Chain A
Amino acid sequence: MKNARKMSVLATAAIAVVALAGCAQGGSAGSGGDAGSGDKPYIAMISKGFQHQFWQAVKQGAEERAEELGVEITFEGPASETEVDAQLQMLQAAIDKSPDAIAYAALDPEACIPLIDAAGAAEIPVVQFDAGCDSDVPLSIAKTDSLGAGALAADHMAELIGEEGEVAIVGHSQINSTGVERRDGFVEQMEAEYPDIEIVDIQYGDGDHLKSADIAKAMIAAHPDLKGIYGTNEGSAVGVVNALTELGMNGDDLTVIGFDSGKAQMDAITNGLMAGAITQNPIGIGAETVQAAYDAINGDTPEEVIDTGYFFYDAENMKDEEIAAVLYE
């Protein structure tokens, strides 16, 4: 009896799976532009993470645009930005669901190639956001020009310290592309444009507030003449600010340039502890990614690189409409 029931459940499930697979196949292979009719198109978004507020803002932008376009999305990512393997499993699971499109932010540009190629072979359109995969399959990427953003941070740092003296960097990653490019953009700009500025130290705190604070304190101890520190993400930058507070210093003693927003960083800028920060447009990244995926589903070719922009903000322009729109608490 029990076995018979089990068998029947299994059989029903098998039929359902086959039927669903058939539907999905029909959906992606059949006529593209049917967003309004029948089932909503489904876009699986695989992010680098979800815990960081930056990703929450990307998710928000994606959800808002999905609502407007009448598409369904899921947004997932690994618990930390070091879990390349966990992210690949999510990507595999997403491909297995045969979505109408996949939106992907690569934690590792190489490791993802086989899976992204497999998605291509299954004729699932792939769009990317934030960081790309070294494969020919993806149609587009919506991201910040991190090298340019790092260079902008360097320009403002140079201006604020009078174009001479020692500066240091508290980075958040020496591996992933945003960490590397925000650093390199800053370093290259300093070397090219400001010969009297010396970058005396670069260390990495994984974006951990506590670790970044301890690193900044060690830097300040080791380099008494240090004029500025650049923190390459929210955790790094807030860590540097915490170090200043703990040492009883303020923005007059040391110039701090941060990255991204978040309440602590915005407060530090308001209070004069931090000179300013670079902000990306995470909501825009989310929205443009969903838009690109939607276009791809409908047979249009999205732009290959969608630069969603970056800005420098400080206490002066923080309240400006253009800036306030891309900041998030």
Chain B
Amino acid sequence: MTEVKATMAGSVWKIIAEKGKTIKSGEDIAILESMKMEIPITSSSDGVLKEWKVTEGDFVDEGDTIAIIE
């Protein structure tokens, strides 16, 4: 199991990957937005997206868990 973490503080602008789908390492799963900048969040491992810890519009801090990949 791997936790995908936020690389910066900001709000969750878009959730791209669906729960239950197979994700490849390096694939964008969500986009964070902060200070007029959009940063894609990529998965660090292959696996199935088991759970989303956030929804669109949520505010996250750097290091917060965004999703769980198994």
Q: Do A and B come from one complex?
A: no
Binding site for A on B (CB under 8 A): none
